[in-house]
Amino acid sequence: GAVVSQHPSRVICKSGTSVKIECRSLDFQATTMFWYRQFPKKSLMLMATSNEGSKATYEQGVEKDKFLINHASLTLSTLTVTSAHPEDSSFYICSARQGTMNTEAFFGQGTRLTVV
């Protein structure tokens, strides 16, 4: 089956610093990747959609200068949380899809970000 790997699984950073989360598709080429944020006991909230080689499309209310998304290759997308603050602490999950919008997207294992 298709495998999507996120790194790191957990990260603690100081307030004001930036942190980068990687999302890799290990055995397929991901033309589209999605980034989600999940608060405790809540559903997944889509933050942005990125297509390889293009600028990400952000959902309404998501600050694109705060959450920088890069999808420079068909196997790697990164989410950088810039100038992180405690309210950015959350569980961030990526998913990756190969091909058209009708194909299945596979999820990474998530990254727990804690900003102290």
Number of neighbouring beta carbons within 10 Å of residue 80: 15
Instruction: Indicate whether 112 belongs to the interface with other proteins (CB under 8 A).
Output: yes
What are the structure tokens assigned to 81, written together?
């949380």
Q: 110's torsion region: left (phi>0), alpha (psi -120 to 50) or beta?
A: left
Instruction: Indicate whether 85 belongs to the interface with other proteins (CB under 8 A).
Output: no
What is the pattern of x (binds other proteins, CB under 8 A) and - over residues 37-56?
A: ----xxxx-x--x-------
Among 14, 86, 101, 116, binds other proteins (CB under 8 A): 101
Among 56, 106, 113, 115, binds other proteins (CB under 8 A): 106
Residue with tokens 């694109």: 64
**Size of interface with other proteins, in residues (CB under 8 A):** 27
Instruction: Indicate whether 104 belongs to the interface with other proteins (CB under 8 A).
Output: yes
What are the structure tokens assigned to 51, written together?
């297509």
Instruction: Give ∠ CA 11-15-16 in degrees, rounded to 5.
Output: 110
The binding site for other proteins (CB under 8 A) comprises 4, 6, 32, 34, 41-44, 46, 49, 57, 91, 93, 95, 97, 100-110, 112
